[in-house]
A and B are shown apart, each in its own frame.
Chain A
Amino acid sequence: MMKMDCEKLCPEWPCEPPEEYKDVWVVVEAEEGKLSEASLQMLTPGRAIADKLKENLVGVLLGYGVSQLAEEVIKYGADRVIVVDDERLSTYYPRVYGSAVVELAKKYKPSVILVAGTRRGREFAPYVANSLKAGITADCTDFDVDETTRDVLLIRPPFAAILLAYIKTPFRRPQIGTARPNVFPVPKRDEGRRGEVVLERVEIGQESRMKLISRRKVEKARAGVEKASVIVSGGRGIGGPEGMEMLRRLAELLGGTVGASRKAVDAGWADHEMQVGQTGKSVKPILYLAVGISGSAQHMLGVREAQRIVAINIDPEASIFSQADYSVVGDYREVVPALIEELEKIRKGGVKALREILES
């Protein structure tokens, strides 16, 4: 264990030996009586870190009327769940929610806090980190443990996405990290798993300086790219919004949805919700069909979990060709309509039509 030389450290930081901190926490969000899937996903790396450190995995469940969800968190892999079921948490405010986590963390001293990178998670996690005068690493894609120092390594790609940075916070605890939704799978549910549920109270004040006036659920018309098993994605090579419409037809035929690269979104041809890549969504379809996408490292980071990547690109030098499974060199304005035509035949004629196409 590294010896602490408090004189060398920023006096703002509490000078405490890291070994005073134990256990891996995952803050579990609940909404409308359900655990958020993104939070459950964080139990996967949480479990792995806890096992490497030989410490407990603890779910931290905050809200109002959430107690009955605690056992669920255990079934997904937690050893213990700390629950704060409090009417003051019925409306989420980042400072109130964050302060509740801070209060618990000061009491229990966890060595690690993981937060799902949902919109709310990305909002309150840095508040928690700052209030604890601790470090935070966003958008981790993996975690590891340094066996000699017991520091957790929070692994994230910096902006260019061809490197992975291993980040640690050797002098401060807890070590705090977020990961984007769908980077980790939901752990397997174990119906028989038993664990401890601890009901806690916190002193948190109300958010007196900010008030929620209205809240409206928006039905997303399209199925999200996060869940799609087929994604047809357009990039700069699409050349305009009408190209996206063509891709939409192709996606329909394949039983999938439409995605886009950052360049297509920046150009205004596609909605930000559809953006795939480092600054968009991470996706894991069976088929990712990249059309007019050059294959920047930032974009490819979002499709690492795709089972197969098929690319259509007019530029024979496009870097996507060395990162895809099956690539066609060609103008999408010709190839996509031809593909639509053949798939329409197959839709109509079934296996027989398919055989005819294959045999011709």
Chain B
Amino acid sequence: MRIVVGVKWVPNTQAVRIDPETGTLIRKGVPSIVNPHDLPAVEAALRLRERVGGEVIVVSMAPPPAVKGLELVLGMGADRAVLVTDRVFAGADTWATSYVLSRAIQKISAEIGRVDLVLFGHETIDSSTSHVQAQVASWLDWPYVYYVSSIEPLGDNAVRVERELEEYEEEYVVELPAVVSIAIKAMKPRPVSLQSKLRAKLERRIITWTNADLKLDPRCVGLKGSPTVVAKTVDMPEVPRKKEVYRPRDPKDAARWIIRKMVEDEKLREVMKGIVGDEL
């Protein structure tokens, strides 16, 4: 089974701080990482390969520093990685991203071998849209399914998946080729082996494709190929709050201050009425 896993190189949003003076984002010096929600998808691919054999290929559309992230994923045990990188791909929305990724997957099928399964993580920490999975499935005209918590091979031509909706647990059989989106924390990703990481580096198992290789119309990629445009950004309007801060003498004092607010504040009074009744 040849499995492609899409991963994204994202700014570590946990490291983004807000400038207390201006209230704006401090982006400078924010390190990028492999999107953590993609790692369960890598893990799922490696487990499938262990069961049925085959190959795991990681694909990322990203600027060249993403090589570092791809090395980590190779260190987890992926067989090779494809970095799709070109200045013309910059500024892509999810539509333009899915276009490039799906063309890269088709090129893998044509040049490396038929791709049976494409796995993605549930969402990225920097935009959390969950769009690209369905968009890629649409380009490839393959069946697809989201929120998958477990995936089992059924011979060479199908997988059995379990997934969760708000109120349902469902089980599907999906014929290959297909796109499957793995739920957050569905599987614990294995650690990176430094040895595999080094070996992958020595064996040059990262392939780089630019648009000279993909030959896509520059009007369909990057910012130009994005149907959505950011017209403007504004500060998030502040919600008016009372902002009363109390430094209590002791815990009992703290508790009684909160209870007092629950009587004095007419909104919170509703909650207190729920406890003592309407006679309040």
Contacts and interface: CB of A to CB of B under 8 A. Distances in A.
A202 interface: no
Contacts of A108: none
A326 B18 CA distance: 23
Given A215-B168, A339-B258, A166 B217 contact: no
B110 interface: no
A11 B242 contact: no
A338 B233 contact: no
A357 B254 CA distance: 12
A297 B147 CA distance: 26
Contact of A210 (B146, B173, B270): B173
Given A124-B134, A133-B227, 4 more contacts: A130-B98, A326-B265, A328-B248, A342-B252
Contacts of B123: 279
Interface stretch (A49-57, A60-68, A80-88, A151-159): A151-159
B272 A354 contact: yes
Interface residues of A, number: 108
Contacts of A23: none
Contacts of A335: 248, 251, 254-255
Contact of B143 (A95, A253, A309): A95
Nearest to B166: A119
Interface in B1-21: 13, 16, 18
Interface in A1-57: 8-13
Contacts of A165: 230, 232-233
Contacts of A10: 217, 219-220, 224-225
A223 interface: no
A323 B244 CA distance: 10
Main secondary structure of the interface of B (DSSP, over half): mixed
A342 B131 contact: no
A138 interface: yes
Given A124-B134, A139-B129, A325-B243, A130 B95 contact: yes
Interface in B96-128: 98-99, 123, 125-128
B119 to A, nearest CB: 15
Given A118-B166, A162-B18, A137 B271 contact: no
Given A210-B175, A220-B167, A335-B251, A135 B233 contact: no
B255 A341 contact: yes
B192 to A, nearest CB: 19
Given A286-B270, A325-B242, A138 B129 contact: yes
Which 3 A-B pairs have CB atoms at the shortest separation, nearest pair first?
A135-B227, A338-B251, A130-B138
Interface string B236-258: 11010111111110011011111
B144 to A, nearest CB: 6
A269 interface: no
B193 interface: no
Interface residues of B, number: 98
Interface in A305-326: 307-310, 312, 316, 321-326
Contacts of B143: 93, 95, 207, 209-210
A220 B166 CA distance: 9
A123 B274 CA distance: 39
A358 B260 contact: yes
Given A119-B166, A323-B241, A337-B251, A346 B265 contact: no
A9 B217 CA distance: 10
Contacts of A216: 168-170
Given A12-B99, A94-B144, A326-B244, A254 B235 contact: no
A239 interface: no
B141 to A, nearest CB: 9
A94 B271 contact: no
A211 B254 contact: no
